[in-house]
Amino acid sequence: MMIDGVLNLNKPHGITSRQALDRIRKLWNVKKAGHGGTLDPDATGVLPICLGKATKLFDQLQKGIKSYSATITLGIATDTFDASGQVLMTSPIEHISEDRIESVFKGFVGQIDQTVPMFSAVKYQGKPLYKIARQGKRIENLPSRLVTIKSIEITSINLPEVAFRVDCSKGTYVRSLVNDVGTELECGAILSQLVRTRSGIFRLEDAYDLDNLEERKITFNESVVPINVVIEALKQVV
């Protein structure tokens, strides 16, 4: 089947971005396809799927702002920076005030030099870091990249959990941001929930659930945004 366009997929919890992509390819028998911006298996939300000739728009789609809704847990650190990893330390948090938490979060707004997580798809000497990590090896000087945290808004504090929203540039690892917050607070922190609510021109409220697509409740004609519509939308992005 020839399908040229972009699907705004709401990636479900528990599968990789690649697995979500493969299920769409199988569903519609699409040979040429790719996804924009990897989401961890435990994360959900907006995952643009480029189909057919729309794969040529991949770089343009990646340039847009990414928005996330996240929850972190203070007082614990793991090797993956989230709940799936091995616990490295725990720490009391009773002494940490809400004002201190607010201040630390605000300190990360702007351009920052962010170290990528050891458990990530970023390549080191041609090999994904997560494969090196699974072999029990560690890299002394992990790669870093300049990213921009455009805004952070704490939405609730109910210790040990803190919920927040963040707008950031492409390439930002929210897990690394959370780990850095924990380091600054001197108590550790892990990412316990993550939802991508926006990826450039695509938003969560317009995304399609994978189950509904696979159950044929929604057709590809209803869900795939044509290339010309995507191009026009990209032109409107400042």
* Burial grade of 108 (CB within 10 A; 0-12, 13-18, 19 or more): middle
Phi–psi pair at 46, nearest 5 degrees: -65, 120
**Number of other CB atoms surrounding residue 6 within 10 Å:** 26
SS3 70: strand
Angle of helix 174-185 relative to helix 98-106, nearest 10 degrees, comes to 130
Radius of gyration of the chain (CA): 19
Length of the chain: 238
Residues contacting residue 128 through CB under 8 Å, at least 6 positions apart: 120, 121, 122
Asked if 165 and 153 count as a contact pair (C-beta separation under 8 A), the reply is yes
Instruction: Specify whether 82 is catalytic.
Output: no
- At 234 the three-state DSSP class reads helix
Out of 40, 82, 167, 180, the active site residue is 40
Q: How many CB atoms lie within 10 A of CB 207?
A: 23
Residues marked active site are found at 40
